[in-house]
Amino acid sequence: MIPYIFDIKRSSTVDGPGVRTAVFFKGCNLDCKWCHNPESRSPIPELALMTEKCIGCGVCKEICPSPDSCSLCGECVDNCPAEARKLYGRKYTVDELYEIISTDIDFYRATGGGVTFSGGECMLYPDFLAEIAEKCASGGISVAIDTAGNLPWNCFEKVLPYTSCFLYDIKALDPELHRIGTGADNHLILENLENLIETGKRLIIRTPVIPDYNDGDELQKIKQYCTARGLEHELLPYHAIGESKKAALKAAK
């Protein structure tokens, strides 16, 4: 299955070591209440309308080829004079993605960077992910995978040979707290993490610090868990940018 990509960010310094290109896949199997990329959750393309930018010119309605049922053709996005509309989700072939990623190979080499595949949950597409990861690794580009780990272990086995680093999300250790915040149990997540530790791959645990959720005792437990296993641990600050994105997605419907 070829996934939809909703964003590609070049020159990123927050998606793993060094300067990186971050490729964001659409589709996620968690339901985090604080999600800052709501446009990543559905696996199919979505239209967004930033109402604060809209000037009410009506061009979108005039050029729409299917006004009674949106076909996500993108005509309104391409023709909006205020750039108030955005279409999240485009398919790329492996070669097309590699061409974009490899553009900054000199920066990767100079800074110890590379490409980071993220989401959503990029590991929902293990075959495609393994193919692009192998092409990048063969081209001398370091591969990192940002995952929440809520997938069968065989998904990891497909990408392990080509991946140098995993950015692994741990929101909570307590199973019930994890379910409350994400809609899912964390048994598989923690089991996969222990398996990854055994592989010797570089692991960076990342925890979003959510007020009144995991910013107290739970955060201390996560820190202790990482310290006991000698794992790198990064804290990600909470921000509410996801709320405006949710509103934009809703406004376009």
Rg (CA), the chain: 19
Does 74 share its domain with 106? no
pLDDT of residue 64: 93
Does 205 share its domain with 111? yes
Output the CA torsion sign for 165, 20, 38, 86: negative
pLDDT one-digit tens code per residue, 228-250: 999 999 999 998 888 999 999 99
Model confidence at 178, pLDDT cuts 50, 70, 90, reads very high
Cross-strand partners of 209: 237
Provide the domain count of the chain: 2
Residues 6+ apart with CB under 8 A from 48: 39, 85, 86, 87, 88, 245, 248, 249, 251, 252
Residue numbers of the domain that contains 8: 4-44+91-241
pTM for this model (two decimals):
0.95
Does 122 share its domain with 13? yes
% of the chain with per-residue pLDDT over 70: 100
Does 197 share its domain with 220? yes
Model confidence at 145, pLDDT cuts 50, 70, 90, reads very high
Find the CATH number of the domain harbouring 175. Answer: 3.20.20.70
